[in-house]
Every structure is written in structure tokens, then in C-alpha cells.
Chains A and B, each alone.
Chain A
Amino acid sequence: MNAIIDRRSLLRAGGAMLVAFNLGLRPRDAAAWAEKPVATDEVGAFLSIDAEGGATVFVGKVDLGTGVRTGFMQIAAEELDLPLGRIRVVEGDTALTPDQGATYGSLSIQNGGVQLRAAAATARRELLRQAAERLGADAARLRIEEGVVIAPDGRRATFAELVGGRAFTLKVDANAPIKPPEARRIVGQAVPRVDIPDKVFGRFHYVHDFRLLGMLHGRPVRPPTLGATVEAVDEASIRGIPGVVRVVHQGAFLGVVAETEWAAIRAARELKVRWSNWAGLPEQAKLWEHVRATPVAQVQVTSDRGNAAQAIQGAAKRLSASYDFAIHTHGSMGPSCAVAEFKDGRLTSWSASQATHNLRKQLAMMLGLPVEQVRCIYMEGAGCYGRNGHEDAAADAALLARAVGRPVRVQWMRADEHGWDPKGPPHLVDLRAGLDAEGNVVGWESEAFIPKGAGGNVDLTAAELGGLPRENQLNPGNIIHNLAVPYAFPAVKTVCHRLETTPFRPSWIRTPGRMQNSFANEAFLDELAAEAGADPLEFRLRTLPRDDPRGREVLERVARLAKWQTRPSPQRVREGEILRGRGVTFVKYELVRTYLAGVAEVEVNRRTGAIRVTRFFCTHDCGQIINPGGVRSQIEGNIIHTLSRTLKEELTFDRGAVTSLDWGSYQVITFPEVPEIAIELIDRPTERPWGAGEPAAAIVPSAVSNAVFDATGVRLRSVPFTPAKLRAALQGV
């Protein structure tokens, strides 16, 4: 059976759509909705070859500003032996791309890229099979160059001749042979990112730039407190603003729609609304008492070996400590934005959602539509480090567009973003451990107090406020990982107390839970090393399992990279106003993938309490590297973003709402504060590729805490490490 059938109409539709996006116009052909396979076991779901012999790659994982689009192109180009310039990518369109799950968890290359690679390898084998038939040659003796299959005698068949314009109709074979390392020419290279030139010349089309004919502008009008309800709306209060079309009111969901963006902004600001009072948030100063007092929904034991409690009880030395990590906001550079259009009872939604296939179901549920009547299309937004407000803006736009019967674009204001994006929840960990007389860890126990839920859908704000159908679940991300430790302690027990509630609607922000748990573990381990009088790096090496050479290697290499001086912490010399120290950290991501080690060097001003991280070193083993430039860029981003979180970021709130509503009240890292960064990548071309978008974040807070301890003898256990906290701690020394 021929595995390729004629699908010219589909490819025309797909092509028209790409052109339309480049022009910033609407995709013309909604008829393409049901024509293309999107099942993840179909080659045609991932790939098509056009009439000119170029390839279009369809991926459910999206480029959130990470450069992964270029990585996908490299993977497809490598397996198909096509030049990069002849690969196009369609991302996150529920009508066109396979559902590969949300773009989170550092899984785009590890899972999404590996699926795409299998599809491309399957397609390559099929192309060779067809060429062999056409050329009357043995498939094993054919080679491919730039989309042309060439027989030993020089006869040729182009991809266009073989399949151009027809769709693949064969199943993905996960065992189809992939290129061996020595034959790779594109994968493994630091290929420049394809999106950068357009971004540098102002020609890139973000979702914020997307326009439809007849489109109106909307703005949500959020309540002044999280739980307030509308008592009265004075629509006359905005009658004087030219261009106002409608006030949309559904429960506590309120929005305005206007002909121009400025009119919508003014209307949202000036609309007079009487809201009910609400003050259901805990007192910020007593946040951790509140967390401890929150009812527990479920107790999860994430590791249990030996009898940890007994081992600690009988230990020569016993230590205990509590670590906490503040509530954070995503703080995307661009406030969330989306465009929605209802036509013939169908909703099309353009947004920067990291999970369009999930958003589709959520929008359908909220609106009472069959899921088939909703199409969600990804367009890049400002960098997204987890589930931020994009989906909520899409819900706002959908409700407003349905109300006015015209396409509506919604862009939040800065205060909407800081005030209403879902938050990284408060994270608290208690630890206890015991050392024997030789300074070996004999027992380790930890208990995390963190909200229940996992990586499912985060409810849409418009559905919550409007009292519309929603799943009504908490989903803070998979935040239990890395509470279990990678070390060979004889007795360990790690437990997560999953809390019924958390003050703010939670979601995942880059490295959710894994970072907070690693912070607690790796800083507490440093406390044990200091108690044992051991060098912290050697202490880790001697505690790592013997059969984990990749773990040992990142640690040994970071020691060389940072010119680590072997000695216990804290350092003895403490003279002058500025104290210097260094701290090390090791993480095996989720205990099953990417290995990392980091060293932070700090300068601490003991008068002001200010911490300056001067240098940060990282060794990184994520298996096979698709694009070393991309991996480096992600590691740099992880380190800097997480330094910002570790040193500065903290949501503030009163009893009713978030009060850190701008960049003045929610401060982030600035250029003068960014350290020198040195990275050593360990490439393993014969291994599987693992993720790089998150893991390096997990090494940052503990490395800094450990370095501050080394400099000062003071242990910081509460993120962010503000000057006030350090000053207070230094007074106790």
C-alpha cells in the first residue's frame, strides 16, 4: 500500500495560513479544520512535503522564546537531509498540530523532539523505499542530499517527485533508524536561531501584533480584591469616551470593548463599579504560620529507605532546619494578549498559550461549546516561563468576542498581569538529619508543605469570576520532584503534605517545586557538611552513589571550572566590610535526567546586607545536545532568572489582593547585578536528549545560600535573600 495520498487541498490551506500570518492577516481557510491528521502516531501529523520538495513540520510543543523552533528544524533537517532553509514549522494549532502535551517541564526536545525525530526517520525510510522502487535500486545503497535521493549510478529522485504535495499516511515507527552521531551534520551544531533576525528588525509578529479586519479592543476590569463581587455598574460613567462599544458583565467578570485600544484602556480605567468587600487572604507577615495551619488533603511519601527517624535519633549529631520560598509572579515582559473570533458558531482563538490543545477544552467547557467548535492557534508572545496569563487573556477575549459578535483583541495592562496571573505558590520544607562520629549522614528526613495538584489545567480567571463551567482543580505543577535526594544515605524518608488550599491561584513557574526542594536539600546538605567539618564538594562526592558516574563527572568538572579550593565552610577570614565566599550545588533533575553542578561566588556587604553574585559556574549534562547555542542560552536564562527570584522577587499582598502591581513594587534583576557566567556543556551524542529549559534553575538558590554561608557563617533559609534578612541574621553572629 502506498503510504502517501493526495492532499493538495490541505497543503494549499496550510500554505495560505503561513503566508497569512506573515502578513498579519487572518488565515483565510477555516475549512482546513478537520482535514489533517493530528494523532501522535501518524507521520502525517508531524510532517508534510510540499510540491517544491520542502518540508513543513507540525509540532504541538511551541517556542516560548527559547529557540526550540530552531531545534525542531535541525532535527527534521537532519533526518530528512534537507537544508534548514527548506523546513517550515507550524506550532500549537489544534487543527493542524499533534497534541504533544503542554510546553512545560523541559520536555520539548526530550519528548516532543524525539517524537518528531521518529516521524522524520520513518518518513526518510519511506522516501528511500519509494525511491528504490522508482530507481530500481537497493534502498540500502541510496543516499540523500538536500532533498534528492541519489542512486549509486547517479540517477536521482527528488522528494518533490516522490511525495510532493501528498500526505504521509503511515504510522510513526519509534524504532526507525536515526542518523548515527558520525553522520550528523546539523544536529549538534550551534545553528543560529531562525527567529532572531525578524526580532531584531521589528518584523516578527507576536500575538500582540496580530490584527483581524473589523477587530475591536477589549480590556478586562478586574475586581479590586480577589473575591469581590459586582454590586453595581455605572455604564454612564464611560459614556463620554468615544468609541466604547459595550460593557460586558457576567458575575464578577467585567470587561469593556471599544473601537480603539486607547478607548478600551480609558473605559477600563474610568468605569465606575461598586464592588463588595472581601478580605480573605492571610496576613503576609504570618504566611508561613498560615501554610502550616492549612488542612492537608493528601500525604505523599516520595522516598522511603531504612528507618530514617530511628537513624537520626541514634545519631552522634542531629540537625534540623526549615526552608521557605516566597510566592512569585511570572512577570512576563509583555502583558498577556489574545484575539478571539466567533464565526458560524465556531470560536477561533489566537494566543501565546503553552498548551493550545488543553486551552481548547477549557474554552469549550467555559462557553458550553462542543470541543470541535473551538480552534486554538499559538502565536509567540513575550517569554513565558510556565502557565502565566495567556490562557486567561484568551478566555477574556472569547467572552468579549461572543458578547459583541466581532473579533476582539485583549491585552492586559501591567497591573492585570502582576495582579492576576497565577502565582508560584509558597513552598515550605522542614528537614532533619543525623551524622555519625565520622561525619557521615546516617539518616535524612524531610517534609514539604505544598498545595495539592499536579500539572493539569489551571482554571481560567474569566470562568472563575464569571461563575462559568470550569474544572475547579488546583494545579501548581509537578512540585513534588527533587524532594527525594540523589545521595546514598542509608536511611531516608521524604514526605509531601499536599495542602487543600493556597492563598493565590497557583501554577507552575520555571522549575516548579524542583527548584524549591533542591534549594532546601542542597542548602541543608551544606549545613551537614559544615557540621562534619568537610569540604562541601567532597562531601557530595563521597555521598553520591558509586554507580552514578555522570553525577560525579559534573561535580568534578565544576570543581575544575571554578578552580574550587578544597576546605570546609565557612571560611575563617572575616575582615573588612565585604566578605567573599563560594558555594556548590549538585542536582540530578527529578532524579532521572539532566545532571548539573553549580558554583556561585558572592560578595556580601556585611554593613548593608547586600549580596552580589559575582560569578556563576555551571556544568550541564543533558545527554545528546541538539543545539549547543540554544542550550547555553537556556542555562544563562535559568541562572539569571533564578538569581532574580532568589535575591529580589517576592509577591506582596494585603488581605484582599496583590499589592506588587508593577516593576517598582515587584523588583527584578537589573543589568548591573548580573554575574559573569561560565558554562561547560557535556555532550553525549549517543545518549537520548534530555531537557535544558528548566534544570539549571534548580541549582541557583542553594548555591547562593551556600556561598553566603561560606562568606559570613550565616545560613539563609528564606527566599528572597533580601539585605534586611541578611542584616538581621548577621546581628546574631
Chain B
Amino acid sequence: MSQTVSMTVNGRAVSVTVDQPQMPLLYALRNDIGVTGPHFGCGLGQCGACTVHVEGEAVRSCQMPVGEAAGKRITTLEGLGTPEHPHPVQAAFIAEQAVQCGYCTNGMIMQSAAFLTKTPRPTEVQVREELANNICRCGTHPRVVAAVLRAARG
């Protein structure tokens, strides 16, 4: 039975019609709403590449059924900031050149941005612990940590 789900994505009201409300939010974002910042990495909630903010919380969009996003305020990497008005974490990732392939970058930035709203002055150890469940295969870790600390310094 197809079903229409309405939500706010990056400040814009959107509705998507899906065959199954159990379909993960990630597919609605990428294929129906057209935001490709969040990436499919594992579909298991293990790697973090699909992270988005739901009501300001970092959430693995591959694990959240689209039906549960109804009425919610979703922010993706595209909505976090723009080249003209970058989020401090985005600006810091550029300054530290904290990207190699960039496939995990979405998750690194979204996880860190949500973290910094709650922990604005983290220690390096806290940043590492916060990102312990975000996988990077290129070995960008030291630059990512440096970028998050830079963003926190403001």
C-alpha cells in the first residue's frame, strides 16, 4: 500500500509517496527528494555515511523508517551550510583539508555538528570518542579531529 509522508527537509516542506513506510529515510532523501549529501555505506547503522539531523539529533538515515520521519524536521549536509554561509564545521573541514575520497565526510560533519551544539568545547579525546562509530577508510582521521577542534575554537 503506497503512502504519502510529509516532512521538512532543509527548511522546505516535502511529501514523498512510498510503497512501504518501512523504507529507510535514506532512500527517500536520495531518490525522491534529491539530496545526495547522505550516502549509503552499510545500511546497518555501522559506518555513519548516511547521517542526517532529525530535530537536531544526528541519526543514521539508513536505520530510520521513512514513516517515522513524518512531520519531522530533517537537515542534511546540503542544508547545514552553503559556500556563502558555511557551518563552522564545514569551514573547518576545508581549512584542515579533512577530506580524501569524501564518502564518509557527510557523516563526519553531521555527527560533529550535532555534537558541538551539546559539547561546544570538547577535548580531543571527546571528539575521538564521539566519532568512534564513524568509519573512514582513507585515513583522514587526524584531519577530521583537527577540523572539529578548529570549529569548536570558532
Instruction: List chain A positions with a Cβ less than 8 A from chain B.
Output: 64-67, 192-193, 195-197, 199-206, 208-209, 241-243, 260-263, 266, 331-335, 380-385, 411, 413-414, 629, 633, 636-641, 644, 662-664, 668-672, 674, 676-677
Contacts A663-B47, A671-B145, A672-B128 hold; do A202 and B76 have CB atoms under 8 A apart? yes
- Whether B70 is near chain A, meaning CB under 8 Å from some CB there, is no
Q: Which of B16-24, B53-61, B115-123 contacts A (4 or more CB under 8 A)?
A: B16-24
A200 cross-chain contacts in B, Cβ below 8 A: 77, 86, 90, 93-94, 99, 102, 105, 109
**Bound-state Cα–Cα, A672 to B129, Å:** 6
B72 CB, min distance to chain A CBs, angstroms: 19
B132 contacts A383, C-beta separation under 8 Å: no
B139 contacts A382, C-beta separation under 8 Å: no
Q: Which of B30, B138, B143 interacts with A383 by CB under 8 Å?
A: B138
**Bound-state Cα–Cα, A671 to B141, Å:** 6
B100 contacts A383, C-beta separation under 8 Å: yes
**Bound-state Cα–Cα, A197 to B83, Å:** 8
A662 contacts B46, C-beta separation under 8 Å: yes
B93 contacts A262, C-beta separation under 8 Å: no
**Bound-state Cα–Cα, A688 to B49, Å:** 38
- Whether B101 is near chain A, meaning CB under 8 Å from some CB there, is yes
User: What is the predominant secondary structure among interface residues of chain B facing chain A?
Assistant: loop
B83 cross-chain contacts in A, Cβ below 8 A: 197, 201
B27 CB, min distance to chain A CBs, angstroms: 5
B134 cross-chain contacts in A, Cβ below 8 A: 671
Contacts A333-B101, A334-B39, A668-B135 hold; do A201 and B142 have CB atoms under 8 A apart? no
A201 contacts B81, C-beta separation under 8 Å: yes
A257 CB, min distance to chain B CBs, angstroms: 15
Q: Which of B78, B129, B138, B144 interacts with A201 by CB under 8 Å?
A: B78
Q: Which of A242, A384, A639 interacts with B139 by CB under 8 Å?
A: A639
**Closest chain B residue to A380, Cβ basis:** B101
- Whether B97 is near chain A, meaning CB under 8 Å from some CB there, is yes
Contacts A200-B94, A242-B19 hold; do A333 and B104 have CB atoms under 8 A apart? yes
**Bound-state Cα–Cα, A204 to B41, Å:** 16
- Whether B153 is near chain A, meaning CB under 8 Å from some CB there, is no
B144 cross-chain contacts in A, Cβ below 8 A: 671
- Whether B44 is near chain A, meaning CB under 8 Å from some CB there, is yes
- Whether B5 is near chain A, meaning CB under 8 Å from some CB there, is no
A637 contacts B138, C-beta separation under 8 Å: yes
B137 CB, min distance to chain A CBs, angstroms: 5
Contacts A201-B82, A206-B103, A636-B142 hold; do A263 and B19 have CB atoms under 8 A apart? yes
The list of the 6 closest CB pairs from A to B, nearest first, reads A65-B101, A202-B37, A640-B139, A383-B101, A199-B102, A637-B139
B103 cross-chain contacts in A, Cβ below 8 A: 65, 206, 332-334, 381-383
B132 cross-chain contacts in A, Cβ below 8 A: 670-672
A636 contacts B140, C-beta separation under 8 Å: yes
A671 contacts B40, C-beta separation under 8 Å: no
Among A205, A334, A413, A669, find the residue whose CB has the most chain B CB atoms closer than 10 A: A334
A662 contacts B42, C-beta separation under 8 Å: yes
B135 cross-chain contacts in A, Cβ below 8 A: 333, 663, 668, 670
B102 contacts A641, C-beta separation under 8 Å: no
A674 contacts B142, C-beta separation under 8 Å: yes
**Closest chain B residue to A664, Cβ basis:** B46
**Bound-state Cα–Cα, A335 to B41, Å:** 6
Contacts A334-B41, A670-B132, A671-B131 hold; do A382 and B101 have CB atoms under 8 A apart? yes
A637 cross-chain contacts in B, Cβ below 8 A: 100, 138-140
Mark contacts of B1-33 with chain A using CB atoms, 8 A cut-off: 1 yes-contact digit, 0 otherwise: 010000000000000001110010001001100
